[in-house]
Amino acid sequence: MARPPRPSTDFSAVLAAFAFFGLFLAAPAPRAQVNTAAITIVGGELADGTGAAVRRANVRIVNDRIVGAGRDVKPLAGDTVVDATGLVVAPGFIDIHNHSANELASEPAASSQVAQGITTVVLGPDGGSPWPIGEYLDERRRSPASVNVAVMVGHATVRRLVMRDDYKRTATDAELARMTALVEQGMRDGAVGLSSGLEYEVGGYADTRELVELGKAAARFHGVYMSHIRDEADKSFEALREAIAIGEQARIPVQISHIKLGTVGVWHKAADAIALIENARKRGVDVTADCYPYNAWSSTITVLVPDKRYDHPPSVEKALADVGGAGNVLIVRHAAHPDYEFKTLDAVARSRGVTPVEQFIQIVKDGGAGVVCTSMVDADIQAFYRQPWVMVGSDGGIGVRHPRGAGTFPKVLGRYVRELHWLTLPEAIRKMTSMPAERLQLRDRGRVAAGAIADLVLLNPSAVVDRSTFSDPTALPVGIEKVFVAGELVWDSGKPVASSQKRPGRVMATPN
């Protein structure tokens, strides 16, 4: 059911109203009639989103905005006081790669996202977006979620609109012109950039020139080009070069989505990928990336075989070798033989006295299987996360059947910061807040500072950690104690705030 839009609680508007009445009525405005809600968070350690060292600071919020952050900030009479002793106060996390576009309407509380400290989701990645963008954003304005939303224009979405089912080829000039007009329309409607998924069915038929032209269109509206690049396996380097070339030729900032090196042939080559990107950055190409904190993907067993010849032993053999062998393929769902579940393909094959290739072919014949495939190495993930231009993104979302859907941000904080010391806490939080905010020009977000919107996370740095696993991908994390969106408490002590029916999430659009 649609509810009326929430009235604006813009603090500067309130101040402006005071000034207006003060000037013309020459009398102090009646304080009691202004419905202000003031909260002061006291005793916490502030990680302000910039990467600066954590420091003791109180944070005061009036309505939807932060009005002060510092040691000298004190609660005023009438403030609600929140005790943050032992907790870190941080800006709300911004997930730059989130697949919740369809689910937000039915699950506006977005519990699995808010539970991680996410206060903003960027939707429409990998080339697939809602359409029309304007209608989608209006619907979010009419029926807000607990989290803020921003949307990309999906390249495959506009390609499909123009080429219909005849998309298995390069586009003609006339088709490209129509796609350009659609990208412009989406950007005008409020999209923050153009996304592509060049490893997928529709987007994969586009040539580089098509993406350069569409990138130019997004650039005219100050958007970014965000890409699931053409290959994340043996041809990763060619794919990275193409993404850089698109940015260079279209003069648009490039965001490499979920940067990874996903086959044995490119494992341990993070340094080369980093050098490639660093060189581009030195030439003035604005390239950044996001990375999810998992070394495994989850999908159906057939996606292992890129040439789709599932009963062709040499194809299957190459596919298994590419992921480091059948020991890296965990069967998680197989209706014909539930007894295979949570065993590796290698273990099942050995127990039956067949080769892994034979076992693979039999499983496909028996209806296929859900698998979790370990196909990245931690050393590469670590190297990527240590780059100052790599941010945290989940590639998850509401209901996603991979632990990243419910665990990404707490996993980085718990495992990579606290347990493994790959990153400092302020740097990890910067990668979750001010970096994506700046990348997408999200105003007044990503930092804790006077004037910013009060999207905040209070987390316990010694407890925060993910609990989602490949067998239980939706288990919620622990240690995210409180989450505020636009000054409203939406998450408290491990659950959504029951009285929070207001859904304070807003729509964010790139200022054109």
Binding site for Zn ion (CB under 5 A): 126, 228
The rounded distance, in Å, linking the Cα atoms of 136 and 386 is: 36
Write out the DSSP string of 186-225: HHHTT--EEEEETTSTTGGG--HHHHHHHHHHHHHTT-EE
- Closest CB 163 distance from Zn ion, rounded Å: 21
Question: Nearer Cβ to Zn ion, position 155 or 467?
Answer: 155
Question: Nearer Cβ to Zn ion, position 217 or 256?
Answer: 256
For residue 338, give the DSSP letter. G
Question: Nearer Cβ to Zn ion, position 191 or 256?
Answer: 256
Which is nearest to 269 in space by CA: 391, 379, 374, 422? 379
Within 10 angstroms of residue 16's Cβ, the number of other Cβ atoms is 11
- Closest CB 172 distance from Zn ion, rounded Å: 27
- Closest CB 70 distance from Zn ion, rounded Å: 40
Question: Nearer Cβ to Zn ion, position 99 or 140?
Answer: 99
Q: Are 376 and 298 in contact (CB under 8 A)?
A: no
Q: Are 430 and 50 in contact (CB under 8 A)?
A: yes
- Closest CB 197 distance from Zn ion, rounded Å: 6
Question: Nearer Cβ to Zn ion, position 126 or 210?
Answer: 126
Q: How many CA atoms lie within 13 A of 402 on its CB side?
A: 22
- Closest CB 421 distance from Zn ion, rounded Å: 29
- Closest CB 159 distance from Zn ion, rounded Å: 16
CA angle in degrees (0–180, nearest 5) for 430-434-439: 120
Q: How many CA atoms lie within 13 A of 182 on its CB side?
A: 24
Question: Nearer Cβ to Zn ion, position 155 or 228?
Answer: 228
* Beta-bridge mates of residue 495: 492
| Residue 193, burial from CB neighbour count under 10 angstroms (0-12, 13-18, 19+) | buried
Backbone angles phi, psi at 476, to 5 degrees: -80, 150
Question: Nearer Cβ to Zn ion, position 228 or 418?
Answer: 228
- Closest CB 399 distance from Zn ion, rounded Å: 17
For residue 493, give the DSSP letter. T
- Closest CB 364 distance from Zn ion, rounded Å: 24
- Closest CB 257 distance from Zn ion, rounded Å: 5
**Which residue in the shown chain puts its C-beta closest to Zn ion?**
228
Backbone angles phi, psi at 120, to 5 degrees: -140, 130
Distances (CA, A) of 510 to 19, 110, 150: 29, 23, 9
- Closest CB 102 distance from Zn ion, rounded Å: 16
Question: Nearer Cβ to Zn ion, position 126 or 455?
Answer: 126
- Closest CB 503 distance from Zn ion, rounded Å: 28
Q: Are strands 193-197 and 224-228 parallel, antiparallel or unpaired?
A: parallel
For residue 415, give the DSSP letter. I
Question: Nearer Cβ to Zn ion, position 65 or 402?
Answer: 402
Residue type, 121: V
Question: Nearer Cβ to Zn ion, position 99 or 482?
Answer: 99
Residue 241 three-state SS = helix
Residues across the chain: 512
Residue type, 267: W
Token look-up 């390249």 returns: 155
Question: Nearer Cβ to Zn ion, position 126 or 322?
Answer: 126
Q: How many CA atoms lie within 13 A of 336 on its CB side?
A: 9
Backbone angles phi, psi at 391, to 5 degrees: -110, 175
| CB-based contacts of 267, cutoff 8 Å, min separation 6 | 261, 324, 376, 377, 380
Question: Nearer Cβ to Zn ion, position 48 or 126?
Answer: 126
Which is nearest to 500 in space by CA: 509, 490, 492? 490
- Closest CB 131 distance from Zn ion, rounded Å: 19
